[in-house]
Amino acid sequence: MSWMKTAQLIGGLVLVAVGLLWTLQGLGIVGGGAMSGVTLWAIIGPAVAAGGAYLVLRSRRAG
């Protein structure tokens, strides 16, 4: 695996994790921060996670 595909995979996984965390905070499931219960983060989170999932899938493509 080339360094570019490895970087895309790692970056994508980080974005998926951050997007999931932001979504859960926005929905009020994860508390303890200024983002908890703020609906904006429940909207931004899935978009960030989707971008990360795209990077993961792109890094796994052959070629």
Confidence tier at 20 by pLDDT (50, 70, 90) = very high
pLDDT exceeding 70 applies to what percent of the chain?
97
Per-residue pLDDT, averaged over 17-43, amounts to 92
Q: Where are the alpha helices (DSSP H) in 1-63?
A: 3-26, 39-60
pLDDT at 53: 97
Tens-digit pLDDT profile for residues 33-42: 888 889 999 9
Which pTM does this prediction carry? 0.89
Nearest Cα neighbor of 7 from 59, 48, 61, 53 is 59
